[in-house]
Amino acid sequence: MDTKDDTVFKALADSSRRQLLDRLYEKNGQTLRELCERMDMTRQAVTKHLRLLEAGNLVVTVWRGREKLHYLNPVPINEIADRWIAKYDRTHVQALDLLKKALEDNDNG
């Protein structure tokens, strides 16, 4: 069974889907029609990609009257960043710190 992270990584693992996220970053709250206008894809393909992005909670939708608006939801990306990147980033910083100490000790010795 897919974990939550898997759904997010899967949703991100496609350039068309990342492009859709970029479009929403530029202008949040677009309709399907607006999103299709600037994509070199069929309406069906955009719909399919949006469904996967929604499954990964990277896009959330809100109804305004009869219009369905799509919003970029970067919260899952932030969760992954906290879980994966911050962790390794710190290791990185510590490694540099140790290196710096070692070099400074050498200078003094």
**Distance between CA atoms of 88 and 31, rounded to whole angstroms?**
38
Nearest CB to other proteins, comparing residues 9 and 41: 9
Binding mask 10-49 for other proteins (x = CB under 8 A): ------------------xx--------------------
**Distance between CA atoms of 67 and 32, rounded to whole angstroms?**
9
Question: In the complex, what is the shortest distance from the CB of residue 99 to other proteins, in angstroms, rounded to a whole number?
Answer: 17
Q: Does 2 bind other proteins (CB under 8 A)?
A: no
Q: Which of 26, 90, 87, 23 is nearest to 50 (CA)?
A: 23
* CA diameter of the chain: 75
Provide the residue type at 90 as one letter: R
Q: State both tokens at 58.
A: 């990277």
Using CB under 8 A, which of the segments 15-23, 44-52, 54-62, 101-109 binds other proteins?
Answer: 54-62
Nearest CB to other proteins, comparing residues 75 and 96: 75
Q: Does 96 bind other proteins (CB under 8 A)?
A: no
